[in-house]
Amino acid sequence: MAFSAIAQGEVKMSIWGHTADGTAVPIYTLTDGQIEVKVTAYGAHLVSIKTPDRAGKMADVALGYDKLDTYLIKPNPYIGAIVGRYGNRIALGKFTLDEQTYQIPVNNGANALHGGPVGFDQYVWQAKEVQDGVEFTHVSPDGDMGFPGKLTATVRYTLKGNTLRINYSAKTDKATVVNLTNHSYFNLHGNDQGNILDQKIEINADHYTPVDAGLIPTGELAPVADTPMDFRKPEAIGARINADNEQLKRAGGYDFNWVLNGKPGTMHLAAIVTDPVSGRKLTVETTEPGVQFYSGNFLDGSFTGRHGVKYEKHAGFCLETQHFPDSPNHPDFPSTVLKPGETMFSTTTFTFGVEK
């Protein structure tokens, strides 16, 4: 069911706060019909998404914080962030490109996660308003966190009707690797309404990439059939999360990349999540070959979100559309290499609705 438009879409900007060095950080409010989205130039974070339930009651279904200051605390669980230059994990922080080996500082056990200790989530991006939204740009210099090439990354958020669209693009002046994604946590009950274990998820994938003890893909594309990873039909997130399964034990729940059915580079279904209680429904489509479904296993109450609620384990789920983790070290995976003269393009949409 789609929502009826009650107002023309609009974009409003205000200064949300300042970083430690005094840089002003704008926040943008996008509205169209009954949907309201807030995004900020700091880390190009998605801050909030307000949407109605089946009775028309509004709730914020994205985890987030009231104040910029909370986003500035490090380390953090990347709530709402754009992560890069390489989202997800790179084994030992090392990869070889054009016969040269590069070392990314490790920040997740023995591995590099989400671009290293100072990723794209920790910069104030340049912002400009566009039709129906805002475009953020960040220039990462050659050698930033060990990555080669001066990379110019652009992320555009637009809201049209009940669909939030994120367009990603990137260019480089030297061969490099890039894997940009959004790390929003969703809770269709409302971000302050308990855990997500009873919400039902469907993932459009016949295979996933199993991981070793360090949560690095083994290289196998394993069938989901007859495993707790099979979400080809809707299943409650919590139904099998504690199953006697080595993969689930390693991750403390779901934290894996699913190999999406559909041609990379063209829009295809990634996942559908529904909340039986509120009736809210989220449909995710993407041009990316994979989606990292993460069930908030490492949230531990150390961060307080809106309304003073501590975000505990399973307070939200992530659907990070992406290329596969550790792709630079797996030649058989879809390539994340970007060369001079090329442009990386990617699109993901989040469409909100209700089921009666």
Amino acid (1-letter code) at residue 91: A
> How long, in residues, is the chain?
356
Between the alpha carbon of residue 51 and those of residues 139, 226, 233, 331, the distances in Å are 33, 35, 25, 41
- Of the residues 135, 285, 288, 320, only one is catalytic, namely 320
36 annotated active-site: no
183 annotated active-site: yes
In angstroms, the CA 94 to CA 329 distance is 8
Between the alpha carbon of residue 42 and those of residues 21, 70, 137, 258, 293, the distances in Å are 13, 12, 11, 29, 24
Where are the chain's structural domains?
10-354
How much of the chain exceeds pLDDT 90, in percent? Answer: 96
Give the burial string for 97-125 (b: 16+ CB within 10 Å, else e): beeeebebebbbeebbbbbbbebbbbbbb
* pLDDT of amino acid 3: 46
* pLDDT of amino acid 8: 62
- pLDDT score of 284 more than 80: yes
- Of the residues 183, 189, 314, 330, only one is catalytic, namely 183
* pLDDT of amino acid 36: 98
3-state secondary structure of 143: coil
The whole-model pTM stands at: 0.96
- 10-354 has CATH 3.40.50.10190 classification: no
